[in-house]
Structure 1
Amino acid sequence: MANYELMVALNGARRQRRDHPRLPVTAAQLAAAAAACQAAGAQALHLHVRDDQGAHSLDAGRYREAMAAVAEAAPGMAIQITTESAGIYDVADQLACLEALRPGAASISVREMAREPRLAARTYALCAEAGTQVQHILYGPDCIARLRAWYREGLVPGTMRDAIFVLGSYRPAIPGQPEGLAKFLNAASDLQLTWAACAFGRHEQACLLAAVSAGGDARIGFENNIETPDGGLLADNAASVAAFVQAARAEGHTLKECRS
């Protein structure tokens, strides 16, 4: 039995409403979905915003609009922005987004930052100065090894110990499996990370239950999965959150207050 934090990722960078009619895209849709997910048990939001064509965006103005809408609709829900490049943005763009927003929390991919180590150093320094809670996105042992080296070199402050382990992938479509968690835990055993997991595909719930059982937190939502465990279509993000909270409770796990 464990206590865990639950974050919801409502849309991600790639899915569209043609993939699911309840995928939130606009600020108003994101706010409504966040409120429903908060009522279902989610304590924090991993936020992506889109442009007028529905494409992934790191525009600071769009972020501010969406964050304000969420704060009004879901008071007290922690908000973490993404800096994901999605094959569109370079490290300079990611840094500019963080400079403009100075957010309370942001997810940052070690793999993406490695494209420009000099700018990566500036990015982590900015976050330290701004008080941004950084969650390192780790896709496998190679990312963990790089993060370890960056701690040693001082490129990443030693106090930035939050991470998320990504099980499976969206493209190519590789569903996450619970047994995939072990390689992350083994590779990161010496780093004293505060970690969460997310998982692509219909085994998302099983993967996240395994993560909670192992002492981690969970991130769920349509960014990673729109299917029920038996392959049906989830009604919406709130239904996904509610089903997971119920499954976790059945295993004796309970939600804890979000640190943010």
Structure 2
Amino acid sequence: MTVDPLLIMVAPNGARRTKNDHPALPMTAPELAETAAACLAEGAAAMHVHVRDEAGAHALDADLYTEALAAIRERTNGRMLVQVTTEAVGRYSPLEQMQLVRALRPVAVSVALREILRAGEAAASAFFAWTAEQGIGVQHILYDDVDLDKFVQLFRRGDFGDMRQPRLLFVLGRYARDQESRPEDLDSFLAGLERHGLVVGTTWSVCAFGRGETAALAAAIARGGHVRVGFENSLWNADGAMARDNAERVAAIARVADNAGRPLASAQQARAILGIA
């Protein structure tokens, strides 16, 4: 029986955390590059990157991204795929989010559907059609059943251009009262795929907040999904101890994958998983 390879994507910093939260959290381009190399060595084939301005604040800045992407590419000899974020964090409008992607033209990007739709469905549809034409791998971030139902509505209508295989990221625990994820949080998303007849043909990943990250990602691995791990969502190992760095978190999830019999994706396989042309 063929077992699907697992893509481990590391999300090392996010938009809100700083070195006050953890001294090993990377914020500069050189720090991101060193983190990329360390996580690549432990089994991550892709990295989800946020860049920061001079004050350390989250920035959707094409020049800062160009600097970070170049540093990561040089340090990893081009073997780490990089996905940029369009997260608004209350600072950016949907038009600014889309403008970043148009200016940067990254190989891969994540987009929170509920954020981009604030520009209106027509503008969002035109943006997604453009990314499809450019061969940019878009991963759609969904937070709940409402987001999933809306995605399916737009997908059926053809608003995502020539998309044959949806690539989704299910976020667990972000809006829980304690902002803690649990393995059962995944159930409603998978039930939604079943309800819409999209179990076959959809590539889905999970990121999970809080101390429950390892258990939630283990559930995703066991059920055929891919995972995003790292300090953006959690600083803790399964035993509740704070992790040394992002590479330690990647290594922990790689061990979970090994125990589950899931081989890790190669760089070439990661491109296909992320829908990069």
1:82 matched residue in structure 2: 85
Q: Give the stretch that moved more between structures: 4-13 or 164-173.
A: 164-173
The answer to whether residue 263 in structure 2 is matched with residue 254 in structure 1 is yes
1:253: how far off?
2.4
Q: Which residue of 2 aligns with 1:238?
A: 247
Name 1:195's counterpart in structure 2: 204
More helix by share: 2
Greater CA deviation, 132-141 or 246-255? 246-255
- What does residue 63 of structure 1 align with? 65
| Pairwise CA distance, 1:90 | 0.8
The 2-side partners of 1:171 and 1:21 are apart by 26
Deviation at 1:173, TM superposition (A): 4.4
Distance in 1 between the 2:220 and 2:126 partners? 32
> What is the aligned partner in structure 1 of residue 29 from structure 2?
27
The percent of aligned pairs where both chains have the same amino acid is 43
Task: Compute the RMSD of aligned alpha carbons.
Answer: 1.5
Asked if the contact 1:133/1:160 (under 8 Å) is kept, the reply is: no
Distance 1:13 1:73 in 2: 23
Contact 1:95–1:119 (CA under 8 A) maintained in structure 2: no
Q: 1:96 aligns with which of 86, 89, 99?
A: 99
Cα distance in structure 2, aligned partners of 1:180 and 1:170:
11
Stretches (4+) displaced over 6 A: none
Following superposition, the deviation at residue 118 of structure 1 comes to 2.6
Change (3 A) 1:171 1:48: farther
Mean Cα deviation higher: 154-163 or 62-71: 154-163
Give the secondary-structure state (helix, strand or coil) at the position aligned to 2:39: helix
Letter in 1 for 2:263: T
Q: In the alignment, is the contact (CA less than 8 A) between 2:165 and 2:203 conserved in 1? A: no
Please, which moves more after superposition, 157-166 or 76-85? 157-166
The 1:133/1:173 distance shift into structure 2, 3 A limit, reads same
Deviation at 1:187, TM superposition (A): 0.7
CA distance in 1, matches of 2:168, 2:193: 10
Q: Which residue of the other structure, out of 124, 136, 150, is the alignment partner of 2:140? A: 136
Gaps of 5+ in 1: none
Aligned length: 260
CA shift, 1:92, in A, is 0.4
| Structure 2, unaligned runs of 5 or more | 272-277
Distance 1:240 1:134 in 2: 25
Amino acid at match of 1:132: I
The normalised TM-score by structure 1 is 0.96
In the TM superposition, residue 251 of structure 1 has moved relative to its aligned partner by 2.9
The TM-score, its normalising length taken from structure 2, stands at: 0.90
Deviation for aligned residue 1:159: 2.7
The C-alpha deviation readout for 1:22-53, integer Å capped at 9, x for no partner, is 00000010000010000111000111111111
